[in-house]
Structure 1
Amino acid sequence: MNSIVKEPVWIPVGPVSEFSEEGGVCAQVDGTQVAVFRFSSRNEWFACENRCPHTGDMVLSRGMIGDSKGEPKVACPMHKKSFSLRTGECISGDEYSIKTYPIHIEDGMVYIGIEKP
């Protein structure tokens, strides 16, 4: 069975200058709250759903970012559960996970990739 891989639709969410050097911001992307994280110290960007899967609260963009054994992560500010920003897996030992999104920077603008049906 052949599976077709769709290219995401790239949605601009703002200029790089609007994002803090080491932290997260919530952006409305195609009707969905997306947490966008800038790790200036690592020269990396990540995006994931803003919704905590544990409680459903829209808070992940306000979580603490860091790493766990080199894996970039965000810790929910409500319950401290940590999630990989690469895979979305909970790295706190729980079965929760979050959706991650592709992100890229072009000409000083931040873009989030959204899959369209």
Structure 2
Amino acid sequence: MKARTCWDAVCTVEDLVPESGIAVWTDDGPVAVFYLPHRLPALFAISHTDPFSGTNVLARGITGDLKGEPVVASPLYKQHFSLVTGQCLEDENVSVKTYPVLLDGDKIRLEVPIDQSESAVA
């Protein structure tokens, strides 16, 4: 059974900073949204939580490109995470969650899971 999702409006285009990330809150937790205007697609979203430290810092990381892969380097321990797959490039056993991103007029929407417990019948 596929998990139910919704497209949550998390910010506007004006909130974005080119070549950088911003942190937003979703029902699925903190998410880092990145705007890389020189790439197509230009919008990426991954978990904001650094899995090595447990700290919400990935939106503050430095964006770049490693062998054609858009990445963010964690500001704490400097591991690189793919903005496409969430995979850590230094440790194949570690990854962060990725989120589909949609530009809807001036709104940025993320596809996030709906909490199934809220709709459960007692």
TM-score, length-scaled by structure 1: 0.89
> Gaps (5+ residues) in structure 2?
117-122
Task: Name the residue aligned to 1:68.
Answer: 66
Deviation digits for residues 40-77 of structure 1 (CA, Å, limit 9, x no counterpart): 12141000111001110110000011111111111100
State the SS of the aligned residue for 1:101. coil
Alignment of 1:1-117 (within 5 A): 4-6=1-3, 8-30=5-27, 32-43=29-40, 44-116=42-114, 117=116
**Is the CA contact (8 Å cut-off) linking 2:71 and 2:83 kept in structure 1?**
yes
Q: Kindly indicate which of the two structures has a greater share of residues assigned to strand.
A: 1
Could you list the structure 1 runs, at least 4 aligned residues long, displaced by more than 2 angstroms after superposition.
4-8
Count residues in correspondence: 114
TM-score, length-scaled by structure 2: 0.86
Rounded to whole Å, the distance in 2 between the matches of 1:5 and 1:72 is 28
> Gaps (5+ residues) in structure 1?
none
Corresponding letter in the other structure for 1:8: T
Cα RMSD after superposing both structures: 1.5
Corresponding letter in the other structure for 2:65: D
Aligned-pair identity in percent equals 35
Corresponding letter in the other structure for 2:55: D
